[in-house]
């Protein structure tokens, strides 16, 4: 008879990862075992307020009842067909998502990086088939300090040395211009340009919000230049900033929007390229695909996500609670916070480097029951589930004040 498996402690589980798990992450030393709403619980039963929400993959909180129910129902009926056959969930997912975003067509994928890769492929195909760019000459203009994912093509146009070093050679065809600089963009765009690909707000870079007028300027410039505007809304989209899409803050309609993270409700990876028919219509059978893209489980969860967003409740919450977050951070400015950028329930907070690195502050917050993540240097990112209450948000801000003024 074998002894019953002994439950391992957090410390033991962290040690057990070391020899068997690739070291491509440096997680905070917390081992989460269960979660509900804005709260997670570790192996020892300690509770933490989740102020990161899976980098916005958990916009609706952990295990939102409507999403869990949709997943359970689908698990009991059909989980995968591959696109070799139709499945009975995909049509309504595509219809609802196109409706929510005001676009015509949907290309379902799985991860964010795949959506970006797919967007790049579609933009290039459009450049050759519709715009008439000579074969293999299409260029795509991107912004410095971007984050679009981790595939070799995508890290090839990153400006983050840690993301690039050791992974070349990289794909050609990308031009990098400073973010929030319309003059530089104008100069980089020419007859070979298939698309301009940018994040409406740069998340990984530290929640960098461009000047008012930048996104509208990108729209105007790309329209004039006859190239596409691809908005990577994988982190900024689906309610986070107080709108369904962050581009709505400037009433901008891109040609293509890339979605991911929250689209899977924190349950399964679901991403999508949504766009105008003239653009996504360039794809024909055999030219692109994904074994798991558009699978019935993903479609069922994705449809339930769209249904939540159709109510407008989450966008409204992000807007209203965003004011609480903003006021709290303004009150901390000068008290350990040197600056912050916030839109909706999303903030990049620069902590006085004298108080420690972003990592050290994150560890201190963890010990006080608040989970956040540092980005670069002394910046921490705050992005709680949109289901968080005003009281919970105040509690987190109070803990941040305590940690910064200790
Ligand atoms: C997270 C993210 C991606 C990549 O998504 P994955 O699912 O990790 O591949 C791409 N773009 C932006 C803006 C992101 O935040």
pLDDT of residue 325: 98
Active-site residues, by number, are: 147, 232, 261
Per-residue pLDDT of the chain (406 residues; tens, 9 = 90+): 566 667 899 999 999 999 999 999 999 999 999 999 999 999 999 999 999 999 999 999 999 999 999 999 999 999 999 999 999 999 999 999 999 999 999 999 999 999 999 999 999 999 999 999 999 999 999 999 999 999 999 999 999 999 999 999 999 999 999 999 999 999 999 999 999 999 999 999 999 999 999 999 999 999 999 999 999 999 999 999 999 999 999 999 999 999 999 999 999 999 999 999 999 999 999 999 999 999 999 999 999 999 999 999 999 999 999 999 999 999 999 999 999 999 999 999 999 999 999 999 999 999 999 999 998 889 999 999 999 999 999 999 999 999 999 8
Q: Are 115 and 260 in contact (CB under 8 A)?
A: yes
Inter-CA distances, 89 with 86, 92, 191, 209, 255, Å: 9, 6, 41, 36, 26
Atom of ligand 1 nearest to the CA of 258: 11
Inter-CA distances, 179 with 115, 116, 144, 265, 398, Å: 21, 18, 6, 30, 33
Q: Is 346 in the pocket of ligand 1 (CB under 6 A)?
A: no
Mapping DSSP to helix (H, G, I), strand (E, B) and coil, where does residue 235 land? coil
Q: Is 264 in the pocket of ligand 1 (CB under 6 A)?
A: no
Mapping DSSP to helix (H, G, I), strand (E, B) and coil, where does residue 241 land? coil
Q: Is 145 in the pocket of ligand 1 (CB under 6 A)?
A: no
Atom of ligand 1 nearest to the CA of 113: 9
pLDDT of residue 5: 67
Crossing angle for the helix pair 313-332 and 390-405, to the nearest 10 degrees:
20
11 phi, psi to nearest 5 deg: -60, -40
Q: Is 112 in the pocket of ligand 1 (CB under 6 A)?
A: yes
Could you write out the DSSP letters of every residue in 162-189? HHHTT--S--S-EEEE-TT-HHHHHHH-
Q: Residue for token digits 């807007």?
A: 319
Atom of ligand 1 nearest to the CA of 271: 7
The full set of domains in the chain, from first to last, is 10-63+313-405 (3.90.1150.10), 65-310 (3.40.640.10)
């Amino acid at each position: 008879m074998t002894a019953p498996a002994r439950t391992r402690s957090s410390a033991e589980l962290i040690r057990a990862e070391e020899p068997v798990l690739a070291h491509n992450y440096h997680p905070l030393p917390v081992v989460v075992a269960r979660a509900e709403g804005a709260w997670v619980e570790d192996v020892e039963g300690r509770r933490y307020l989740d102020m990161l929400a899976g980098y916005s993959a958990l916009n609706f909180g952990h295990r939102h009842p409507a999403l869990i129910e949709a997943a359970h129902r689908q698990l009991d009926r059909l989980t995968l067909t591959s696109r070799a056959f139709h499945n009975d969930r995909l049509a309504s997912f595509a219809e609802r998502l196109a409706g929510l975003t005001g676009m015509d067509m949907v290309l379902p994928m799985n991860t964010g990086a795949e959506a970006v890769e797919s967007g790049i492929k579609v933009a290039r195909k459009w450049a050759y088939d519709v715009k008439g760019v000579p074969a293999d000459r299409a260029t795509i203009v991107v912004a410095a300090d971007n984050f679009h994912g981790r595939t070799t093509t995508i890290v090839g146009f990153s400006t983050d040395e840690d993301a690039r070093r050791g992974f070349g050679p990289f794909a050609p065809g990308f031009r990098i211009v400073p973010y929030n600089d319309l003059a530089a963009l104008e100069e980089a765009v020419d007859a070979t340009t298939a698309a301009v690909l940018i994040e409406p707000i740069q998340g990984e870079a530290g929640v960098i919000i461009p000047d008012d007028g930048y996104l509208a300027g990108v729209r105007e410039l790309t329209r004039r230049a006859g190239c596409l505007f691809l908005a990577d809304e994988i982190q900024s989209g689906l309610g986070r900033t107080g709108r369904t899409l962050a581009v709505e803050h400037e009433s901008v309609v891109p040609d293509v929007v890339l979605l991911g993270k929250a689209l899977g409700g924190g349950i399964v990876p679901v991403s999508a390229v949504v766009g105008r028919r003239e653009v996504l219509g360039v794809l024909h059978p055999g030219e692109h695909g994904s074994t798991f893209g558009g699978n019935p489980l993903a479609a069922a969860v994705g449809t339930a996500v769209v249904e939540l967003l159709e109510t407008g409740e989450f966008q409204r919450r992000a807007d209203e609670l965003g004011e609480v977050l903003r006021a709290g951070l303004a009150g901390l400015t000068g008290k350990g916070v040197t600056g912050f950028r916030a839109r909706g329930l999303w903030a990049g907070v620069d902590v006085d480097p004298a108080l420690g690195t972003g990592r050290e502050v994150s560890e201190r917050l963890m010990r006080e029951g608040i989970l956040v993540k540092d980005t670069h240097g002394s910046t921490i990112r705050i992005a709680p589930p949109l289901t968080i209450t005003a009281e919970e948000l105040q509690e987190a801000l109070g803990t941040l004040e305590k940690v910064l003024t200790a």
